[in-house]
Structure 1
Amino acid sequence: MPTTPFPPHPPIAELLDAFRRGTSSPPELAEACLARIDAHDAAVNALPTRVARHEVIERAERLQRSIARGEPVGALAGMPYCAKDMHRTAGVRTTFGSPIFAGHVPAENDPVVQRLLDADAILVAKSNTPEFAAGAQTFNPVLGKTRNPFDLSRTVGGSSGGGAAALACGMTIVADGSDLGASLRNPASFCGVVGLRPSSRCDPTLRSGADAFGTLNQIGAMASRVADLRLIERAIRAPAMRRPLADWVGQLDADATARRARAARPLRLAWSIDCGGAMAVGAPVRDAISRAIGCLRDQGVELVEAWPDFEGADECFQVLRAAYFVENFAALYRGHRALMKDTVAWNVEQGLALHAERIAEAARARSSIFANVAAFLRGFDAWLLPTAQVLPFAHDIAFPTRIDDRPLATYIDWVASCYWITVSGHPGLTVPAGFAREAPGEPLLPVGLQLVGHFDRDEALLDVGERIEALLAPLATAQRGPLGA
């Protein structure tokens, strides 16, 4: 069972079965999620923009009638859904966390939103994000800060922080997001839920006008458990003619026979806490990950302490990230610099200062790191490492400047455990691994374990994730946060 400060809703598959049997209904589920929003979001601020209540209930009632008549419905029929405020929603305010777009109401949905609506999920709200999703601390000048349900004085991470917090509180069943460096995995870890950054060529959600060959930023999802995440990801990921590098035959890998064969094999996993000291990891996180590794070993999982070579990953990510910001935000920077936060402007300025040679070097480094990780994973089902290098920190800290006794050079160094995986292009899944506290007397806070899988075998990674999720249940049992009943 995932770690949340509230009892989680039943799995999506059970909810759909209950709808078919008539023992529950989409309106009942919608009312349950809306009640949690009403009761708790004033404190958490996960979902600052909401769809009108009557629209949510009317949509749920229409689905209930369709189900009762035996009509075909989507794979997520009746599941309440929050869309990240970076994703355009037709007729619903989309601010991107920026004063430039404070009153922006799009005319159409982004592809990820449309796909989830086509699967009959019910949009209930927009989830909070930092400005233009830049940074792993969810706050912005338009909609404020999102608070961690386990300790309201601490961050939810980011940039998909609103969705992660909403899941932890049971305000939603489905939460989409995006992940450039850590933006699905970090908040999922900080809020005790699951999140997947897919393999880097598997993104059918390309919005019009974007780089059709870009793979650095990936659309994905978070959920309360891996089984739910699988259903959400399948709704998002399907053949898409606008994404030239999408290989959906390889990506789905959903053949039932192959899945049964994988489930029957003993797991063989590599693991590392800090890649031989190359990565700074705080002591509480070290202790929690060590307990999780011990828990897996005690249950018969074969574990080998080892790690791939990530030499050059930091420089590579900085360069590719800077180029991404030029591509996506340079025009806004030139026209609205006074309304743009400094860290976004800094990223754009770093990109504008790039020379072609540095970009070429970064591309070569990325290819080398991809090959290193691919070769390393041969013989392993997955590689395990911390999702986040620190515990959720106080809101008045914009970002960590040191971890224990190690100073950090930039505002993103504390999420290297995630952005190294971004550079490699391999899928990264975070599952709850237990709890830790900063010091005696401090609240227990969630810690996530990141699983890195084989490229374009995201379904196989989800299979491993479900097994590890079950094995770690003794450590990841729900703990009551300050909002818990």
Structure 2
Amino acid sequence: MEPTRITPTDPIVDLDAVALSRAIHAREVSCVEVVDAFLGQIDRHNPRVNAIVAPADRDALRFQAAERDSEMARGVSRGPLHGFPQAPKDVMPAAGMVTTKGSPIFAGQVSQTDAVIFERMRAGGALFVGRTNSPEFGLGGHTYNPVYGTTRNAFDPARSAGGSSGGAAVAVALHMLPVADGSDMMGSLRTPAAFNHVFGLRTSFGSVPHGPTEEVFFNQFSVAGPMARNVPDLALLLSVQAGFDARLPLTHRAEAPGTFALPPERDWTGVRIGWLGDLGGHLPVEASLLDTCVRALEHLRSIGCTVDAAVAEFDLERLWQAWIDLRSFAVAGANGALYRDPARRGQLKPEAVWEIERGLALPGTRLYEAMSVRSAWYQALRVLFERYDYLVLPAAQVYPFDAELDCPHVIDGRDMDTYHRWIQAAVPAAMAGLPALAAPAGFGPGGLPAGLQIIGPVQSDATVLQIGHAYDQAGGFSRVRSTWLGKAWDAAAPSGLPN
């Protein structure tokens, strides 16, 4: 059978988000043209990578886009996302859309309300074209679930897209969306960003409203944030997402909604970078990945930073045990009712059952001990930040792995004792509540992407983006595109890979 040929990529989808927003506001392109261009790109790539699921009605989308054009003709802009196609991650509710959380328990259920960030994105002019795929309940660093299947990597569709914001990362990397929202508890923004050569910001807790949820005071791990192909585009989406919301009392008043901006360029001479590497051998890391990351550090040196090895003086295994206790407690609290219902328990994946059972068995005193360890870790990093301005760590411990696997079970000869030990590199920033930017670090010997995370002191989201932008300008990472962007798909190929 002859390969199914596709039309050339529309130049609209090749615009960065900042340039696209300017073009819409200058009325150089219409919102209808923008929607049609991105829908064409979705048709071009999504059948093989499965990043965007639960597609919206296209006639309704074009009608909404025409309304946005009418508003623009009257001089009315809803904000920087006016006319932007978006696909909210399928873990939080989006009004009028199916929210499955990747679980058959919720398959087909339509939400009546928006999560706060989706409410803000919608009010800011975004058009929701579908949802981005996520693993069940967002658990695990590999995006697959029994409802929608597996999302595949933007640089090699035989490989994992990472997770849990895997659909978002792939959609951005393959220009199916200009930017995308994600969330991060244990690297859910950072792992897929590293796997797909894009940028993802784990925001400081409270910077972006993440909810509402049943419990708004205790659980301070999960955050929402942006994903994009460059840092100015991250800042554009974050300007819509960030800011105080009275429904979530721990959100920050420092930024009013819609006011976040990327700081101007500065001189980085003498800025001190602490390279944490594999945490003194504590982290198992795939062979050559550390070398790829170390080479990327040269771009920080090239802008004037000093980069030195840093050591976190802490019992890192104790930190890990505290992390998994607090994580299991949170998962059990959110999903315990599903477990207690025998009919629905049988529909939960084994990892969810394991988390819930651990959480239900934890005594209160052990949770307090875990919270105390977390507090001590924050203080240890606070002291380390007296010596360094930023800390850098690999964003993932492996290159993208075979998409047919559930997760890596061995790294560099070391067995993984849990389903998520292979993403342990995400824990240091999460346990300290610090902002962490996942940025591309280049490609390994097999041509697969790797990433760095740049971690800043508490509530330093803006300056983390600032140094990330300077790093990217020096390294040129955001100018590198997946080679699959320009290829046709072979409908007859059993592997489903481009021809």
- Distance 1:449-1:253 versus aligned 2 partners, 3 A rule: farther
Q: What TM-score do the two structures reach when normalised by structure 2? A: 0.90
Deviation at 1:250, TM superposition (A): 6.9
Q: Which moved more, 1:94-103 or 1:171-180?
A: 171-180
Is 1:420 paired with 2:428? yes
Show the counterpart of 1:361.
369
Partners of 1:435 and 1:446 within 8 A in 2: yes
Could you tell me which of 76, 82, 86 is aligned with 2:81? 76
- Distance 1:314-1:286 versus aligned 2 partners, 3 A rule: same
Q: Aligned partners of 2:406 and 2:333: how far apart in 1? A: 25
Is 1:319 paired with 2:325? yes
Could you tell me which of 447, 450, 454 is aligned with 2:450? 447
Show the counterpart of 2:462.
459
Deviation at 1:76, TM superposition (A): 1.4
Is 1:343 paired with 2:343? no
- Report the 3-state secondary structure (helix = DSSP H, G, I; strand = E; otherwise coil) of the residue aligned with 2:346: helix
Deviation at 1:396, TM superposition (A): 2.4
Show the counterpart of 1:280.
284
Q: Aligned partners of 2:256 and 2:434: how far apart in 1? A: 12
Show the counterpart of 2:494.
none
Q: Aligned partners of 1:121 and 1:283: how far apart in 2? A: 42
Show the counterpart of 1:219.
224
- Report the 3-state secondary structure (helix = DSSP H, G, I; strand = E; otherwise coil) of the residue aligned with 1:287: helix
Q: Aligned partners of 2:314 and 2:79: how far apart in 1? A: 41
Show the counterpart of 1:478.
480
Q: Deviations over 1:394-424 (max 9, x none)?
A: 0222111221122221111111111221111
Is 1:194 paired with 2:185? no
Show the counterpart of 2:117.
112
Partners of 2:134 and 2:164 within 8 A in 1: yes
Deviation at 1:252, TM superposition (A): 9.1
- Distance 1:64-1:379 versus aligned 2 partners, 3 A rule: farther
Could you tell me which of 140, 144, 147 is aligned with 2:149? 144
Is 1:400 paired with 2:408? yes
Q: Aligned partners of 1:337 and 1:349: how far apart in 2? A: 11
Could you tell me which of 454, 468, 473 is aligned with 2:471? 468
Q: Which runs of 5+ in 2 are unaligned?
A: 1-8, 488-499
Deviation at 1:285, TM superposition (A): 1.2
Identical positions, percent: 34
Number of aligned positions between the proteins:
473
Q: Aligned partners of 2:47 and 2:250: how far apart in 1? A: 42
Q: Deviations over 1:354-409 (max 9, x none)?
A: 11121011000000111111221235331111100100000222111221122221
- Report the 3-state secondary structure (helix = DSSP H, G, I; strand = E; otherwise coil) of the residue aligned with 1:153: coil
**One-letter code aligned to 2:323:** F
Deviation at 1:64, TM superposition (A): 1.7
Show the counterpart of 1:55.
60
Q: Aligned partners of 1:467 and 1:201: how far apart in 2? A: 25
Q: Which runs of 5+ in 1 are unaligned?
A: none
Partners of 1:81 and 1:174 within 8 A in 2: yes
- Report the 3-state secondary structure (helix = DSSP H, G, I; strand = E; otherwise coil) of the residue aligned with 2:193: helix
Deviation at 1:197, TM superposition (A): 1.0
Partners of 2:292 and 2:442 within 8 A in 1: yes
Deviation at 1:452, TM superposition (A): 0.3
Deviation at 1:38, TM superposition (A): 0.6
Deviation at 1:218, TM superposition (A): 1.1
Q: Deviations over 1:110-142 (max 9, x none)?
A: 222111111111111101111111111100011
Show the counterpart of 2:293.
289
Partners of 1:89 and 1:113 within 8 A in 2: yes
Partners of 2:244 and 2:257 within 8 A in 1: no
Partners of 1:212 and 1:242 within 8 A in 2: no
RMSD after superposition: 2.2
**One-letter code aligned to 2:292:** A
Ranked by relative contact order (alpha carbons within 8 Å, sequence separation 6 or more), the top structure is 1
- Report the 3-state secondary structure (helix = DSSP H, G, I; strand = E; otherwise coil) of the residue aligned with 1:434: strand
Show the counterpart of 1:43.
48
Partners of 1:203 and 1:243 within 8 A in 2: no
- Report the 3-state secondary structure (helix = DSSP H, G, I; strand = E; otherwise coil) of the residue aligned with 1:345: helix
Q: Aligned partners of 2:273 and 2:367: how far apart in 1? A: 34
- Distance 1:476-1:175 versus aligned 2 partners, 3 A rule: closer
Show the counterpart of 1:264.
267
Show the counterpart of 2:162.
157
- Distance 1:191-1:6 versus aligned 2 partners, 3 A rule: farther
**One-letter code aligned to 2:280:** G
Q: Aligned partners of 1:208 and 1:296: how far apart in 2? A: 39
Partners of 1:98 and 1:340 within 8 A in 2: yes
Partners of 1:138 and 1:155 within 8 A in 2: yes
- Distance 1:69-1:87 versus aligned 2 partners, 3 A rule: same
- Report the 3-state secondary structure (helix = DSSP H, G, I; strand = E; otherwise coil) of the residue aligned with 2:254: helix
Partners of 1:82 and 1:123 within 8 A in 2: yes
- Report the 3-state secondary structure (helix = DSSP H, G, I; strand = E; otherwise coil) of the residue aligned with 2:407: coil
Deviation at 1:353, TM superposition (A): 1.0
- Distance 1:408-1:255 versus aligned 2 partners, 3 A rule: closer
Q: Aligned partners of 2:61 and 2:115: how far apart in 1? A: 19
- Distance 1:371-1:357 versus aligned 2 partners, 3 A rule: same
Show the counterpart of 1:249.
254
Q: Aligned partners of 1:250 and 1:369: how far apart in 2? A: 27
Q: Aligned partners of 2:469 and 2:478: how far apart in 1? A: 13
